[in-house]
Copies of this chain bind each other. A is one copy, B any other.
Amino acid sequence: MSSSAAGRVPQGERSQAMRRRLLDATVRCLVEYGWSGTSTVLVSERAGVSRGAQLHHFPTKNHLVLAAVEHLWESRAEAHRAAFAALPDGPDKVHRVVHLLGEHFSGDLYTAALELWVAARSDAALHEAVVRLEQRIGQAAHRRTVEALGVDESVPGVRELVQATLDLVRGLGLANTLTDDSARRARILDRWARTLDQALRTATP
């Protein structure tokens, strides 16, 4: 952007755009270099933002990474909702929901979140904020899954089956971090979907 073009963009918008560039660069660094390889200096270079401006927006690495994961999650939430809403009704519904969850939990949002969660385990300053964020993300994913499956959580066992499905895709996401696990994952999710479908139909106390 030339300085004359920049001059026509209001200050608030430029500041928002700079903030977004910093958050996007943070996610790219987390995915590529991991938590310990991500530094505020590297992020400001990648984002093309001065150190001063970066420190103004995010005073520490912890602020930056926490905001980046939250920003990525919020920017994806609408797409995830839309993907669930677009699933056709029919006998394949559970299969489609389960595979869609498998995709959502094996992409860059999962990877960036994993780096943050693991770092927060042994960082007292991060811990509380990450627990709150994890609860928000977890509750939203749970609510969306219940809606997409069209199930009634007051039926005993249904809530735990939905939770198990989300914990399964978290475990599969982990298995996918070191090698491409997509073929194995697809077979497991096929069988899980069939088992879940049956269990949801017959859930009793």
Residues of A within 8 A of B (CB): 32-37, 111, 114-115, 117-123, 127, 130-131, 134, 157, 160-161, 163-164, 166-175, 177-179, 184, 187-188, 190-192, 194-196, 198-199
In chain B, what residue has the closest Cβ to A177?
B121
What are 19 A-B contacts with C-beta separation under 8 Å? A32-B122, A34-B118, A34-B123, A35-B36, A114-B118, A117-B177, A117-B178, A118-B177, A121-B177, A157-B194, A160-B187, A160-B190, A164-B168, A164-B191, A166-B171, A167-B171, A171-B171, A174-B174, A198-B198
Give the interface centre of A117, A122, A190 by most chain B CB atoms within 10 Å.
Answer: A122
Instruction: State the oligomeric state as a number of copies.
Output: 2
In chain B, what residue has the closest Cβ to A160?
B191
Chain B residues lying within 8 Å of A195, measured Cβ to Cβ, are 161, 164, 195-196, 199
Dominant SS among interface residues on chain A: helix
Residue pair A188, B160 in contact (C-beta under 8 Å): yes
CA distance A172 to B168 in the complex (A): 8
In the A-B complex, the 8 residue pairs with the smallest Cβ-Cβ separation, listed nearest first, are A171-B171, A34-B122, A170-B171, A167-B171, A160-B191, A36-B36, A195-B199, A168-B168
